[in-house]
Amino acid sequence: MNNNLVEIKLHGELGRAIGKTWNLSVSSVAEAIHAIETISGRKISQYLLANEGMCDQKYEVLINDKTIHVDKELQKKTKDFTEKTIEKIRESELVIQRGDLKTIDLIPVLEGNMPAVFIVIGAIIAAAGVVIGGALGMALIMA
């Protein structure tokens, strides 16, 4: 865990529903999402379940103001996730522990304005589940 507070910004509808800015002591994107999910009383899962199709909303993820690079496997629709997808999540920058983490931004991407690098929110939630592991981790992945 990072001893310094990391500023996590959830942009767009997700930020309006969950809270736009969070300052937490975390070391990865997955850990940040898990912490927000826990502190907010599962508001991320509730929001995604209440808003059909949101699990496939595309986001650009910035770490310290730089776009992270993700495997094409993490750009799939959530319903198309396979064991290979989960393996790619385990290997992704979403779960890498960083000592230099200062900011994380999750920015929704409009369909017509697609950057080369994006990830579906379902994969970000799955990364949080991978970090936790066990039954709780699987529940987050399946939420």
pLDDT in single tens digits along all 143 residues of the chain: 557 899 999 999 889 999 999 999 999 988 998 899 889 998 888 887 787 666 667 788 899 999 887 777 666 666 666 777 777 777 888 888 889 999 999 988 876 655 555 656 666 666 666 555 544 444 444 44
The answer to whether the CB of 110 falls within 8 A of the CB of 14 is no
- The torsion angles phi and psi of 8, rounded to 5 degrees, stand at -110, 125
Cα–Cα distance list, 90 to 111, 112, 127 (Å): 26, 29, 7
Can you name the residues that pair with 87 across neighbouring β-strands?
A: none
Helices 43-50 and 29-39 meet at what angle, rounded to 10? 90
Q: pTM of the prediction? A: 0.78
